[in-house]
Each structure stands twice: as C-alpha cells, then as structure tokens.
Amino acid sequence: MSRALKASEPILVAGARGLVGSAIVRRLRADGFQNLLVPERSELDLADKAAVDSYFKAHRPSYVFLAAAKVGGIFANDTFPAEFIHGNLVIQNNVIEVSQQHEVRKLAFLGSSCIYPRLAPQPIKEEYLLSGPLEPTNEWYAVAKIAGIKMCQAYRRQYGFNAISLMPTNLYGPNDNFDLKNSHVLPAMIRKFHEAKVSGANHVVVWGTGTPRREFLHVDDLADAAVFLLQHYDDEDIINVGVGEDISIGDLARLVADVVGFDGEIVFDTSKPDGTPRKLLDVTRLHSVGWRARISLREGVVETYRWYVSQLESQGVSRGVWSAGIHKTVHHASQI
C-alpha cells in the first residue's frame, strides 16, 4: 500500500557517508525532508548492538534506509573474505532487529545484484535468487546480502515488520571509492585514465579480457528509486533496481578514456579474472511499479569525472586540465 512520507517524520539513513547513503540523503533533502538522522560512525557504531538500540531509543526513527555496508571490488572481496561476510552480517542483524523492536514503520534494505548465481540466465529475474552457485570472487559479500534479504522476509512473516529489499545493479557516482586496491571497476577506470592522461602515459592496463558485460546505474537514480519504492512498494519479494541495458568492459574503458581525454592504448591483462561473464538485471517489476532510470551512462560518467577532479582540486592536487572529450557526443546507443 502506498504511503506518502511526511516531511516531519524522522528518517534514519544508515551509512549516510557512503556512496549510496549520501545519495539518498541528497534525494530526501531535495524533496524537502529535513528531519534526517545521519549519524557518523563516531556517533553510532552499527556493529555495536547496544549502541544501535540506545540510538533508536533516543531518536525514534519512523523509517530506515539500510545503506551501510562494507563494499569493494574483486580484489578486496578476494583478499578480505572474513571481513566482508562478518562485517555485513553484524550491521544488518543489528539494524534490522532493532528497527523491528522499536516499531519502525518501514525499512528499505539495500542489497546487491551479486546475490544472483554466476551463470544466471540473462536478464536476471528476481526469482533466480538461490537457483545456482554464486560468483566465487564475491561470494562472501553476496552470502551476507542474501542473509539480509532472508532476515527481512523472516521478520515480515513472524512479526509483521514492513521491510523491503532492493537489489541495485553496479553503482557509480559522487562519493564513490577511487582507491585502486578496493574500488569497483568504473571509479577505478576513471582514476587510471585520469592519472595516465596527466602523467603522459602511453597505455592503461585494464583487468581481464574486456568481454564481460555489466550494467551501470548512477547512484542518484538509485536514491530516487529507493525513496520512490519506500512509498510505493510493500512486497516481501526482492525488487531489482537497474537500467535494463549493459555494456562490455572493453566499451566501458573506451567510453571512460574518451570522457577523460586519454588518447593512449588500452591494454587488457587477460591473466586477471573477469568475474561474472554478464550481469544484466530484469527490471520489469520495477517498471511495473512506476519507476525508470533517467541518467544515461555517458552523462553519469561525465558528472562523476567532474566530481572526482573537483575533489582533487579541493585537496590542492594539481591534476591537469579538462579534456575537450568531455563534451563529445555519445558514440554508441548501448552506452546510454
């Protein structure tokens, strides 16, 4: 049942400093919501259940966006599997259970498309969950997110707790992580190509063969969808949040190079893992509820690169000048 949020109602955004959480905060504020609870870790450690309980007692949130998570790319997941499974389980368990105990009206749990089987039929429908083996390079994170989904469903069935689970595709945008050791593919590319342009390098190395295909959703679109679904979606079944179109890693690299203005060679290191061959979400359910993505891939990459450069400049780092390539038109329809 749809329910319009009231501007006066307290809304907790768990993980408000991260990529997803900060975008949700921007969206809510743009829509006129001012009673937002956005605690920093120094104020609230989500891994400490007693602290979470005390915070809820003091602030009484009516709604919760559970966007806090330990995230990273292939390298990070493969290197720190214990941290990825334990850290995410603890955060989810604490926030979901305390939300139910304190009678939060509704909770939106932010999952990930990595919950689906590695070789799931494409595009991936919500019912493919648990129908096959996971991608080994991120199964620890995926298992934690699946547990979060099942916890939301269990608390709904046993206690009548109104929790929904949103499964976003690959995300990018302002406040992303650009650390080459633990970032996702798109921000890593932006940094690599930018630094190569500034240093005058003649090539950039990209992991894998370049053939896997990925779908990318700007985080501001996800935030818009999350706020929309909190008001218009009330089913225990998970719901995919994506664009409905994908692009090969090779074409993505060429798009990023063009936006950044890097004219050198792109070298694919085939000794490195590709990950899942393809990951495109079926967004039929999302469209049927009444929401569609609006930010094109090129538009989003341009905006994200602008944000990245502005951060470097604000830190007093000289990183070269803008390339005229940022104003070029889109070369392929598949990149929209």
User: Residues forming the annotated binding site?
Assistant: 15-21, 110-113, 145, 168-171, 184, 192, 207, 214, 274
CA gap 112, 25 in Å, rounded:
19
**Residue 117, C-beta contacts closer than 8 angstroms, at least 6 positions apart:** 128, 130, 131, 132, 133, 134
Q: What is the DSSP letter of 335?
A: G
DSSP state of 328: P
Closest to 172 in 3D by CA, of 113, 111, 218, 225 = 218
Q: How far apart are CA 333 and CA 73, in angstroms?
A: 27
The phi, psi pair for 162, rounded to 5°, reads -85, 90
The string of DSSP letters for 177-239 reads ---TTT--HHHHHHHHHHHHHHHT-SEEEEES-S--EE-EEEHHHHHHHHHHHHHH---SS-E
Helix (H/G/I), strand (E/B), else coil: 134: coil
Q: Which residues are catalytically annotated?
A: 141
Annotated binding residues for substrate, as ranges?
192, 207, 214, 274
* Contact yes or no for 242/292 (Cβ under 8 A): no
Secondary structure class of 206 (helix, strand, coil): strand
d(CA 205, CA 208): 9
255 closest CA partner among 332, 321, 178: 332
Q: What's the chain's Rg over C-alpha atoms?
A: 20
